[in-house]
Amino acid sequence: MGILIRDVRLLDSAENERTDIYITGDHISGIGREPRGFSADEVIDGSGKTLMPGLINCHTHAYMSLMRNYADDLPFHEWLFGRITPVEDALTPEEAYWGNMLSVIEMIRTGTTTFVDMQMFPKMSVRACADSGMRAVITRGLVGSDRNDEGGRARIAQALEEMEYGREIGANVDFALGPHAIYTCGEDFLRYVGELAAEKDLSLNIHLAETEYEYNTCLSEHGCTPVEYLSGLGFFDRRILLAHCVFLSDGDYSLLRNPNVHVVTNPASNMKLANGFAPVARMLKEGVNVALGTDSAASNNSLNMFTEMRLLTMAQKGAAKDALVLTADETVRIATENGAEAIGRDDLGSIGVGKTADLILIDENCPNLRPVYNMKAACAYSATGYEVSDVLIGGKLVMRNRNLTTIDEEKVYFETGRIAEKYRPGRAVPGK
């Protein structure tokens, strides 16, 4: 299987310089020069288009698109425990599957090719990825009081079972362990999950230091910051994604400056739930790897990495009162290369011969991208995501000329609409 993208602009290239990209199987086999023995099954006209790496959404909960615009303008705890959790508790796995598919549609359409998911419906994220061709790192959200907590152990068993399932059906998925947060997991349970990660050689994915309440509670209960607490449990001895990190002490930065540790910032969610602005500019300056996530559509309320990039750089400049922080270059890097580094996939997040072909084409003939002076600035400041015309994941075209090739969108809209009727605010949340 060979794909040739002819006469395309690369995001990094000088003005008006255009080249040809050759894709063989799942990887880029040539840039500007046809590799030996190449034959094109498909030729894509790249004129008027810019090619960039697919975006990597390092934190979301894909099933929660079912709760998009369901509960807004509320403080964090009322939003989460008063409105969102009751629906989560009532959702069926089949409903979660359709929520996942809705999310995958939005992500592909807006140029995301990999997402890191914390979910609670075993196998449903895997199935959505297998059915759509989407790439993901899937983590079953784990909560529990201690290592003997039956619910906690059952969730861990589901997580491990799901990994088998993912390998069996051959989806584009990796797995990690996802203890939910330090305020929903007891210390002994966290230690147990940490031991299991070491035993199975798995990465970790956790929410950390998202709210001031969490930060202050950790200080009073454990006498240290959330970052210090987690570090003290040995969690930073292996690859870990820390979602949020809005509340940090001066001492936390040196702990985060660790090749195993990757912070995932979620600006929309942090702003909308009134947690404020994560100190991203400072983290970068201190040498911490920062990736980007949208969090769920229940707190964002979209899964669009282009609008997330825009919000990130704007909010950082505004909060720091410094127009030079989070430049367009840095912002794009956070959403691509830094995300690849966070998930340990140096074959993703950049364009080069031998790299995996997770690529997106941006249609330059959109009024908000014109005239074309600087496509990186256009991506960070002007794009809405819907300029993306074509998406390849692992060398497979999952969107071609804005048509999805693997998903029946109407069916997904119908099913998610049906589910929304069941949970519509004002009605009693039905039991399972």
Site for a second copy in 303-332 (CB under 8 A): 303-304, 307, 310-311, 313-315, 317-324, 327-328
For a second copy, the binding residue among 50, 302, 336, 389 (CB under 8 A) is: 302
Asked if 309 contacts 282 with a C-beta cutoff of 8 angstroms, the reply is no
- Rg of the chain, C-alpha, whole Å: 21
Binding mask 82-121 for a second copy (x = CB under 8 A): --------------------x--xx--xx-----------
Q: Smallest distance from the beta carbon of 322 to a second copy, in angstroms? A: 5
How many angstroms separate the CA atoms of 186 and 144, rounded? 6
User: Whose structure tokens read 């990094």?
Assistant: 12
For a second copy, the binding residue among 96, 227, 297, 388 (CB under 8 A) is: 297
Q: Smallest distance from the beta carbon of 227 to a second copy, in angstroms? A: 21
Binding of residue 17 to a second copy (CB under 8 A):
no
For a second copy, the binding residues in 47-86 under the rule CB under 8 A are 65-66, 68-70, 72-76, 79
Q: Which stretch binds a second copy (CB under 8 A): 133-141, 167-175, 342-350, 364-372?
A: 364-372
**Residues, the chain, total?**
432
CA 332 to chain centre: 14
Q: Smallest distance from the beta carbon of 404 to a second copy, in angstroms? A: 10
- Look up residue 244 and give its two tokens: 């949020």
Q: Smallest distance from the beta carbon of 422 to a second copy, in angstroms? A: 10
Q: Cβ closer to a second copy: 253 or 386?
A: 386
Helix 150-169 crosses helix 187-200 at what angle (to 10 degrees)? 30
How many angstroms separate the CA atoms of 394 and 23, rounded? 10
Q: Cβ closer to a second copy: 133 or 267?
A: 267
Asked if 360 contacts 9 with a C-beta cutoff of 8 angstroms, the reply is no
For a second copy, the binding residue among 13, 260, 374, 406 (CB under 8 A) is: 374
Q: Smallest distance from the beta carbon of 232 to a second copy, in angstroms? A: 28
Q: Cβ closer to a second copy: 160 or 271?
A: 271
Binding of residue 429 to a second copy (CB under 8 A):
no
CA torsion 157-137-326-278 (nearest 10°) is -10
Binding of residue 296 to a second copy (CB under 8 A):
no
| Helical residues (DSSP H) of 111-149, grouped into ranges | 124-132
How many angstroms separate the CA atoms of 319 and 335, rounded? 20
How many angstroms separate the CA atoms of 29 and 267, rounded? 36
Q: Which stretch binds a second copy (CB under 8 A): 121-129, 130-138, 262-270, 344-352?
A: 262-270
For a second copy, the binding residues in 264-283 under the rule CB under 8 A are 267-268, 270-277
Q: How many residues sit close enough to a second copy to count as binding (CB under 8 A)? A: 74
The CB density around residue 312, as the number of other CB atoms within 10 Å, is 26
For a second copy, the binding residue among 80, 145, 413, 429 (CB under 8 A) is: 413
Binding of residue 183 to a second copy (CB under 8 A):
no
Q: Cβ closer to a second copy: 73 or 150?
A: 73
Sequence-ordered list of residues with C-beta below 8 angstroms from that of 178, at least 6 positions apart, any chain: 118, 139, 140, 141, 142, 159, 204, 205, 206
Sequence-ordered list of residues with C-beta below 8 angstroms from that of 338, at least 6 positions apart, any chain: 262, 289, 290, 291, 292, 349
Beta strands in 41-125 (DSSP E): 42-45, 49-53, 55-60, 112-119
Helix (H) or strand (E) holding 388: strand 388-393
- Look up residue 287 and give its two tokens: 């040498």
- Look up residue 103 and give its two tokens: 């999310």
366 phi and psi angles, rounded to 5 deg: -120, 140
Q: Smallest distance from the beta carbon of 313 to a second copy, in angstroms? A: 8
Asked if 162 contacts 154 with a C-beta cutoff of 8 angstroms, the reply is no
For a second copy, the binding residues in 185-224 under the rule CB under 8 A are none
DSSP states along 95-115: HHHHHHHHHHHHHHHTTEEEE
Q: Smallest distance from the beta carbon of 153 to a second copy, in angstroms? A: 34
Binding of residue 143 to a second copy (CB under 8 A):
no
Q: Smallest distance from the beta carbon of 75 to a second copy, in angstroms? A: 5
Q: Smallest distance from the beta carbon of 279 to a second copy, in angstroms? A: 13
Q: Which stretch binds a second copy (CB under 8 A): 119-127, 161-169, 333-341, 365-373?
A: 365-373
